[in-house]
Copies of this chain bind each other. A is one copy, B any other.
Amino acid sequence: MAGFDTLRWRDGHLELIDQRLLPGECRYLACDSAKAVAEAIRGMAVRGAPAIGCAAAYGVALEAHRLRSAGPEKFESGLERAFQLLAGSRPTAANLFWALDRMRRNRDGRRDGDPKAIAAGLLKEAHAILQEDVRLNRRMGEHGAALLDDGMQVLTHCNAGALATAGHGTALGVIRSAVAAGKSISVVVDETRPFLQGARLTAWELAQDGIPVTLIADSAAGHFMRRGEIDAVIVGADRVAANGDVANKIGTYTVAVLAQRHSVPFYVACPLSTIDLGVASGADIPIEERGAEEVTGYRDVRWAPAEVTARNPVFDVTPAALVTALVTEKGVINAPDRNKIMALFQ
């Protein structure tokens, strides 16, 4: 288990590790409204599909708590605005919409209750979502650990770790569980430009756990695969379509293409809450494009010429045909397709 809480409920506030500051500083950001949570999501203080889902659930709960004494009308309209604000914070991660749907169902189940009871119910639901996420990650880890053999060197892209979830992690959860089972696993991590989740977050959390990690430039993954130095790839997902296509951090598709060429298994670890049966294929998943300034430099440093145009799609789609297996809390799904995915939900 990672030695930190990515999100936690403290004294009526949601506290999030501000991941923009890692690894230099591990500081919690306190949020006391849906607006503050939506800003934390949009600004990437919290990121990673499952963590975004948890944060959004707390965003709804916070708003209900804040408005619980404002009268039924204000409560109702304020809560509705909170749902909309949070749903608009980022477009790609399925867990955001999944968590908001679940919170909405919880509220709808108490439509005639008073605001205080609704607020209490919503907070309980947010806690449940967070606790379940850790439990599901551990279950995924146990299923996925069987895919990793002792002595393997595993490549990962971006951060699908404890920091991307409520704890343990999806892709890194599988690695953690394999290590906990006594296997010696070393990790190669792509730095993951432009936001550097690999260099900043994955390197940091694996180092904390004493799991050997080697950082490489994104464009070096092919070189190491060609040299036979990568035994498996495991990544997380932001949204999986009903046919098994995977939207994940920009560059994931490239890693999958390279893995196929080199006969390296390519695994995607994600809870069912990341699978969106409402999108038939990856072509229907909205791909967020963020500001050019993330590509023309990093934080306050600019290295590209001032006048240059940049494009910054932050996710890409890996077709299901490139996915060796999906690792879910219900087990490992080899060569995922529509039928196998539908069966998961029955």
Contacts and interface: CB of A to CB of B under 8 A. Distances in A.
In this complex, the interface size class of chain A, counting residues with CB under 8 Å from chain B, is: 35 or more
A218 B311 CA distance: 11
A23 to B, nearest CB: 4
Contacts of A303: 23-24, 196, 199-200, 298
Given A193-B191, A200-B304, A298-B298, A257 B222 contact: yes
Q: How many copies does the complex hold?
A: 2
Given A216-B311, A218-B219, A254-B221, A203 B295 contact: no
A190 interface: yes
Interface string A192-217: 11101001100110010000111111
Contact of A305 (B23, B217, B307, B310): B23
Interface string A254-269: 1001100100000000
A193 B217 contact: yes
B219 A193 contact: yes
A85 B308 CA distance: 38
B219 A254 contact: yes
A310 B212 CA distance: 11
Interface string A298-314: 11010111011111110
**Nearest 5 interchain pairs by C-beta:** A219-B251, A222-B254, A223-B316, A215-B310, A218-B219
Given A200-B305, A207-B307, A217-B250, 8 more contacts: A196-B303, A199-B303, A207-B305, A212-B309, A213-B309, A219-B254, A220-B311, A257-B261
26 contacts: A23-B305, A157-B219, A190-B219, A191-B193, A199-B295, A200-B303, A200-B304, A203-B304, A203-B305, A204-B305, A207-B305, A213-B308, A213-B309, A215-B292, A215-B308, A216-B295, A216-B310, A217-B251, A219-B250, A220-B251, A220-B313, A220-B316, A222-B251, A223-B250, A226-B317, A299-B301
